[in-house]
Amino acid sequence: MKHFLLVYDLADDYLTRRAEFREAHLNMAWGAHAQGDLVIGGAFTDPADTALLLFKGESKEVAERFAKSDPYVTNGLVKSWRVREWNTVAGAMAINPIKPG
C-alpha cells in the first residue's frame, strides 16, 4: 500500500462557481473514503488556490481515476492537477513508519 497526494490548482473563479458542483464532488469524495481510497481531502484557504486529497492504494491510478471524473475537474474549477507518491514515515497512518533509534 502507498500514499498518493492529488494536488489541484484551482481556477480563479473557484469560490464563486463551486456551489453548483459541490454536492456531486462531496458525494464522490465521501464515496471514495467509504471505499478506503480517500484518506482526507480539502482546499487551502486564504487564498483558496489549491486543494489536496490524500489517497491510499497500490498505484497512483486510484487518485487519477478520481480526478478524471471529479465534477470540479470536468467543469473547469480545477486548472490543473497532478498526483505525487508520498512516502509517509511518521504518524499512526504512515505507510512506511520509521521510528528513531
Q: Looking at the domain assignment, is residue 99 inside a domain?
A: no
Q: Mind listing the pLDDT tens digit for each residue in 22-55?
A: 999 999 999 999 999 999 999 999 999 999 999 9
State the residue range of the domain holding 65: 2-86
Residue 44: its pLDDT value, please?
A: 97
Q: Would you tell me how many other CB atoms lie within 10 Å of the CB of residue 14?
A: 21
Residue 44 CB contacts under 8 Å (≥ 6 apart), including other chains: 50, 51, 52
User: Of the candidates 96, 100, 86, 82, which has an alpha carbon nearest to the alpha carbon of residue 54?
Assistant: 86
Residue 34 lies in a domain: yes
- Residue 91 inside a domain? The answer is no
CA distance linking residue 65 with residue 68, whole number of Å: 5
| Residue 58 within any structural domain of the chain | yes
Q: Name the domain count of the chain.
A: 1
Q: What is the pLDDT at residue 51?
A: 98
Residue 24 maps to which CATH number? 3.30.70.1060
